[in-house]
Structure 1
Amino acid sequence: MSLAAFTALYFVHLAAAMSPGPAVLLAMRTSLREGFVRGVWLAIGIGLGACIWAAAALFGLALVFKIAPGLLSVLKFAGAAYLLWLAFKMWRHASDPLETDLPRLPQDRSPLRLIWLGISTQLANPKPAVFFGTIFLTFIPPAAPLWAYAAILGIVFFNDAGWNVIVARVFSLAKTRAAYLNLKSVIERVFGGLLALLGLKLALT
């Protein structure tokens, strides 16, 4: 692959990574509630989840969808159900009090749990599957060498994880956090409502 092909791939995928969606929304919420470090762990999971979709695309995801188009529908409804479940949890606990001090990571929110949340959120959303299985593949030559595949996966991880680290940093700042604490119930319900809308849109389109 040429440098121009890598550059085009980088910017096309960066635009996709930066587009608002469930992963970015959860990065915002996690960093607001739990601080920058936890947001970074989540961002790592988001990056790994994107790499899974990208690897699947590189090794035949588009062909699978062409052979079994019903699989995409199954992924859509399963992903929509997962997003609606997350939205329900946010809405239900919107009025719960939140400690103003950030404690150490408790057992149920360990780095591994946060990484898995990032991965599962990405895998529950079939839109990355569509992106990687269509637009993404048009930038990759059919006979690309294995080293190019490794570099491509590195780009995908860097873009998705890196963007969500930036999101985590912005939403973990003291001023942002103070505003969140003052409007916790409203913000949590807005986040929950947005996730629910994303889930419904996913199921209906």
Structure 2
Amino acid sequence: MMDSIVPYLGPIGLIFLALMAGAVSPGPSFVQVARIAVSRSRADGLAAALGMGLGALVFAALALAGLQALLAALPGVYMALKVIGGLYLMWIAFHIWRGARHPLEMSGDDPGAARRTIQHSFRQALVTQLSNPKIVVVYSSVFAALLPAQFPLPAAALVLAGVLVMETGWYAVVAVVLSSAVPRAAYLRCKTAVDRTAAAAMGLLGLRLVATAHTV
């Protein structure tokens, strides 16, 4: 199996570099993981990182399956996905803004509460990642530009595994750094301002997604 992958390691490496550049750029996924890690716990942040990684894996698999061609043939479907995704991001922003002045609820020593917040953080991150259909265009564009015409299944599996590890790993780094003592203490001191800044960024990203829904 490795012999069938070796000739494709060069293009796969370029694909990972291109996708990594997109992953580290600021966006709704970064805002969500950062806020979860700072406002909840490191475990919540890591759960959110896994949610982001799985969301990216879904988009990568769809891109490899040729979803971009389907969306190009059905522009109305793509427009609807962008509107729904943008509205979801604005809904998140509204709730973050509304709760900005509320004190942070700590799970304390209750393991059941901790598990519930971790599960919620995972679901919230996964849905946030899936709410941005433009990611499938990014993945499809990168794959179209860099993948050879003939691409064996083992090489495709390696790409998907790499996407999961890369996206989860990047957001795990974000979660670990921002859940450390100093960033967390700073957040607790400035919770209202930080939450409203995050809400504004999330809302603007959602508004931009809706406003550009008519474009590909």
Instruction: Give the 3-state SS of the residue equivalent to 1:125 in structure 2.
Output: coil
After TM superposition, the structure 1 stretch with the greater mean CA deviation from structure 2, 101-110 or 165-174, is 101-110
After TM superposition, the structure 1 stretch with the greater mean CA deviation from structure 2, 100-109 or 166-175, is 100-109
Alpha-carbon distance change, 179 to 187 in structure 1, aligned in 2, over 3 angstroms:
same
Show the 5 A alignment for 1:53-64. 53-64=59-70
- The one of 192, 196, 204 aligned to 1:189: 196
List alignment gaps of at least 5 residues for structure 2. 1-6
After TM superposition, the structure 1 stretch with the greater mean CA deviation from structure 2, 130-139 or 172-181, is 130-139
Alpha-carbon distance change, 105 to 50 in structure 1, aligned in 2, over 3 angstroms:
farther
Show the 5 A alignment for 1:17-166. 17-99=23-105, 103=109, 104=111, 106=113, 109-166=116-173
Q: AA paired with 2:201?
A: L
Instruction: Give the 3-state SS of the residue equivalent to 2:186 in structure 1.
Output: helix
List alignment gaps of at least 5 residues for structure 1. none
Give CA-to-partner distance per residue, 1:38-81, whole Å, 9 cap, x none: 10011001000001011001011121012112221111100010
* TM-score scaled by length of structure 1: 0.94
- The one of 163, 169, 176 aligned to 1:169: 176
- Report the Cα offset of residue 177 of structure 1: 0.6
**In structure 1, C-alpha distance between the alignment counterparts of 2:188 and 2:182, rounded to whole Å:** 10
Instruction: Give the 3-state SS of the residue equivalent to 2:178 in structure 1.
Output: helix
* TM-score scaled by length of structure 2: 0.89
- What is the aligned length? 205
Question: Are the counterparts in 2 of residues 34 and 102 from structure 1 also a CA contact under 8 Å?
Answer: no
**In structure 1, C-alpha distance between the alignment counterparts of 2:107 and 2:210, rounded to whole Å:** 38
- Report the Cα offset of residue 31 of structure 1: 0.5
What is the percent sequence identity of the aligned residues? Answer: 36
